[in-house]
A and B are shown apart, each in its own frame.
Chain A
């Protein structure tokens, strides 16, 4: 009779990829719920369209590559990519935007690079950037919160806008976006940016109807929802605390410095935290284990770089939000960051002194 001696590590974590992915998908629910509550059914329709397309695309590529279809199709990674893409699209974007974006994310960004675990870029964000660059008109049709709309948008109206471009009553997206006083409304970030170019101060922009009481009607609650989901993921140890912390503090520091220097032309730190895709990016996008940095120090650098880039692009760039671009740029920098932040192996010298 022989003893079977197990080698280290003795403490196993028995969770599989699919369990992790499922948990991340569940964690997006508070944010999606806030999106539904303030902006209507649009994003839910886009999310379901994206999931269907992503599964079909994944199935096609997996069968072409002779992979195990059942195991890889439902590991949740494609569904998670589709969910993240659906969340980030404008609620009233036409249906083909989602289809093209989803196909691009799965086929080109994920599978052509070798599938799950081999993609250098975050598929959802790469697809979002591709869509934003290719279809700037459709991708900037942000819908104002439902409470500001002149008309009541029901589920059937949203369906018909997404699939035909018009509501059953014949209103176009442009008309839906128009305020009852006859001006088109944008996102809080856009509002502040355009007002600054027109010579208004940030304090004056905060009076705009899209901004509401705090930092953006609806947007603050969506971000709070994603923050809640993110904290849930942190408590379950599904993601590491380093990236979100360093990203958020870097964004905080950058916007704080700018606010100190010129309070009239810079939005407040909390405005940067609670508008746009900040919390989604911090907890769900940047923490992607495949396309991010790996070591603790590397993740701190990675998150800080992303925060700096988000601030710079929001402040000086021409696009509605900066998270997707910042994420892609950081994905490119991740291998380099990894090389220079390699952890010291136990027992080896500090640095390479000869």
Chain B
């Protein structure tokens, strides 16, 4: 099966090159606030991904009928509708997680990553690509959330997947891994400053990897620049 190169490009952009968490630095508020454990991060990441896919698909479906002048309010309304769905669903099925995410669940509406994708990509492209873009951007965001959550949970409490039963049901209590025993919690890792520091290290790590890749690549001959692309929109 031949994969459409556009999908490949979308996946590369969403997961690595233009990652909403590490490169665009969008949606930092939930990213830093709720990633104290893996499970919280996973819950918010999945919710954000769901909203991103649905809003991208919807925005793309109605793109021909939306007047340009009032597109932003319309996008926000669409996003808010999906966030409400997610919130009600989580309230119904994962009440513990709903409570521990608190205000950050409804705040997905204001996540710039979502409206950014709606504006920059979904409103100009067909449904299939737009929803795939939503999936990839959502996955990239989810991955950053989970990695950050894992780092902070290991450093802070020495566990992994603590409270997985809140998300997955009672059987998941056994998923909790005690990485090492701490006499006392390392509070800095759990508090917001720890999130900023860990995030800084993650971004530094990504830049270091990019730098290594760029050095390993054989240098191409300089080509004459024919046109300047200001940002990624294709």
Please give the residue numbers on chain A whose beta carbons come within 8 Å of chain B beta carbons, in ascending order: 108, 130, 133-138
5 A-B contacts, Cβ less than 8 Å apart?
A: A133-B187, A134-B187, A134-B189, A135-B187, A136-B187
B186 within 8 A of A: yes
Chain A contacts of B189 at CB under 8 A? 134
- The answer to whether A135 and B197 have CB atoms under 8 Å apart is no
B154 to chain A, nearest CB (A): 15
Q: A134-B189, A136-B187, A137-B184 given; name 11 further pairs at CB < 8 Å.
A: A108-B197, A130-B188, A133-B187, A133-B191, A133-B193, A134-B186, A134-B187, A134-B188, A135-B184, A135-B186, A138-B184
Which of A108, A134, A137, A138 gathers most chain B CB within 10 Å? A134
A101 to chain B, nearest CB (A): 11
Residue interface mask B171-198, A partner, CB < 8 A = 1 = 0000000000000101111010100010
Chain B contacts of A134 at CB under 8 A? 186-189
Please give the residue numbers on chain B whose beta carbons come within 8 Å of chain A beta carbons, in ascending order: 184, 186-189, 191, 193, 197
Chain A residue with Cβ nearest B189: A134
- The answer to whether B188 and A133 have CB atoms under 8 Å apart is yes
Report the Cα distance A130→B194, complex, angstroms.
10
Report the Cα distance A130→B189, complex, angstroms.
10
Chain B contacts of A135 at CB under 8 A? 184, 186-187
Report the Cα distance A138→B191, complex, angstroms.
18
Report the Cα distance A133→B194, complex, angstroms.
11
Interface of chain A, main secondary structure: helix
Chain B residue with Cβ nearest A130: B188
A281 to chain B, nearest CB (A): 22
Report the Cα distance A133→B156, complex, angstroms.
13
Report the Cα distance A44→B191, complex, angstroms.
31
Report the Cα distance A136→B187, complex, angstroms.
9
Chain A contacts of B191 at CB under 8 A? 133
Report the Cα distance A134→B189, complex, angstroms.
8
A243 to chain B, nearest CB (A): 27
A138 to chain B, nearest CB (A): 7
Chain A contacts of B188 at CB under 8 A? 130, 133-134
B6 to chain A, nearest CB (A): 39
Chain A residue with Cβ nearest B186: A134
Chain B contacts of A108 at CB under 8 A? 197
Leading 8 A-B pairs by shortest Cβ distance: A134-B188, A134-B187, A134-B186, A130-B188, A137-B184, A135-B184, A133-B188, A133-B187
Chain A contacts of B186 at CB under 8 A? 134-135
A133 to chain B, nearest CB (A): 6
B22 to chain A, nearest CB (A): 18
Chain B contacts of A130 at CB under 8 A? 188
Chain B residue with Cβ nearest A131: B188
Report the Cα distance A303→B34, complex, angstroms.
38
Report the Cα distance A135→B187, complex, angstroms.
7
B209 to chain A, nearest CB (A): 16
Chain B contacts of A133 at CB under 8 A? 187-188, 191, 193
Report the Cα distance A130→B187, complex, angstroms.
9
Chain B residue with Cβ nearest A100: B186
Report the Cα distance A133→B191, complex, angstroms.
9
Chain A contacts of B197 at CB under 8 A? 108
B51 to chain A, nearest CB (A): 34
Report the Cα distance A218→B137, complex, angstroms.
61
Report the Cα distance A133→B193, complex, angstroms.
10
Chain B residue with Cβ nearest A94: B183
Report the Cα distance A197→B78, complex, angstroms.
54
Chain A contacts of B187 at CB under 8 A? 133-136
B39 to chain A, nearest CB (A): 22
Report the Cα distance A133→B197, complex, angstroms.
15
B191 to chain A, nearest CB (A): 7
Report the Cα distance A137→B183, complex, angstroms.
11
Report the Cα distance A341→B187, complex, angstroms.
38
Report the Cα distance A108→B200, complex, angstroms.
11
Report the Cα distance A150→B189, complex, angstroms.
37
Chain B residue with Cβ nearest A138: B184
B156 to chain A, nearest CB (A): 9
B181 to chain A, nearest CB (A): 13
B119 to chain A, nearest CB (A): 35
Report the Cα distance A138→B188, complex, angstroms.
14
Report the Cα distance A130→B188, complex, angstroms.
7
B140 to chain A, nearest CB (A): 26
Chain B contacts of A138 at CB under 8 A? 184
Report the Cα distance A283→B191, complex, angstroms.
32
Report the Cα distance A138→B184, complex, angstroms.
9
Chain A residue with Cβ nearest B187: A134
